[in-house]
Amino acid sequence: MDTRLVQNYRMIRGSRLVVILVMALVFVPGVACAQTAVSIELVLAVDTSASVDNKEYELQMRGIAKAFRSPKVIHAIESTGGIAVMLVQWSSWANTESPMPWRMLNDRPSILSFAAEVESSRRAGVGNLTGIGTAIGASLKSIEDNRFAGRLRKIDISGDGLNNSGLPLVQARNLARSKSVTINALAIQTDFPNLATYFREHVISGPDAFVVAAVDYEDFARAMRIKLVRELTTKLSGGPPPGRKGAMLQPF
């Protein structure tokens, strides 16, 4: 049998398994525990699929670090009173055992420490396919399980390709809506010049959700800084969203 057919079959079978696993994970009730109040819970979900070479991965990490060192971003975080943040690497799977676990950022030292850690973060692996829906599902599970309670909860998807694996985007977006989680996106338009439009129509979700476009990976740091300033200066109102942690996620 053609080895390429075997490889394709294995990838498709693996993608179906990912969907089943994500669905099982997100429907498991969270464990009730004492939580720290923050203004925003933010997941940075970074593309590490096969279309991203090692240089481009490093440009993403350096770009995130540079954005967090920006005086405007530091001021925005300090003005909120504190945010919780983590970093997830994703491709056809999502690394939920992140080397960048949840932590609070509320002053310049904590922000700069996070930036330094991001800049030196190793690549978790390379997946052949692009599972944006799977990344959203894993990010939602991480938000549900962390020790923070944010007045706003957001997922930042950055990537350079179209969803072709794992949890369908329609299901992932509906799941995010059911948990009052906003999905924003950064489209790296190296291979797809209209990727920002695709992300706008099929990925982002929630009140005030938006897309920022980067022309290429060299432009990533600029786009990330703009995106962070915009979402961190969103006006806050009310308390934690309904259906907070400890409750089963609603069907979609």
The domain that holds 78 is classified in CATH as 3.40.50.410
Q: Which domain holds residue 184?
A: 37-232
The number of angstroms, rounded, from the C-alpha of 102 to the middle of its chain's C-alpha atoms is 13
- 19 inside domain: no
Instruction: Let me know: does 180 contact 153? Beta carbons within 8 Å.
Output: yes
Each residue of 223-232: b (16+ CB within 10 Å) or e? bbbbbbeebb
Helix (H) or strand (E) run with residue 145 in it: helix 132-145
- 87 inside domain: yes
Confidence (pTM):
0.81
Q: Classify burial at 9, counting beta carbons within 10 Å of its beta carbon; exposed 0-12, middle 13-18, buried 19 or more.
A: exposed
How many residues can be counted in the chain? 252
- 73 inside domain: yes
Query: How many CB atoms neighbour CB 145 within 10 A?
Result: 15
- 45 inside domain: yes
**In the chain, how many H helices and how many E strands?**
8, 6
- 12 inside domain: no
Instruction: Let me know: does 205 contact 140? Beta carbons within 8 Å.
Output: no
Pairing outcome for strands 100-105 and 83-90: antiparallel
- 69 inside domain: yes
- 108 inside domain: yes
Total structural domains within the chain = 1
Per-residue pLDDT 10s for the chain (252 aa) are 444 443 444 444 444 444 444 444 444 444 445 689 999 999 999 999 989 999 999 999 999 999 999 999 999 999 999 999 999 999 877 665 566 899 999 999 999 999 999 999 988 877 788 999 999 999 999 999 999 999 999 999 999 999 998 899 999 999 999 999 999 999 999 999 999 999 999 999 998 999 999 999 999 999 999 999 999 986 654 444 444 443 322 222
Q: CA-CA-CA-CA torsion for 177, 178, 181, 183, nearest 10 degrees? A: -30
What is the arrangement of strands in the sheet containing 83-90, beginning at the earlier edge strand? 100-105, 83-90, 36-47, 148-159, 182-188, 211-214
- 238 inside domain: no
Helix axes 54-69, 220-232, angle to 10 degrees: 40
Residues in Cβ contact with 88 at an 8 Å cutoff, skipping those fewer than 6 apart: 43, 44, 45, 46, 94, 95, 96, 98, 100, 135, 138, 139, 142
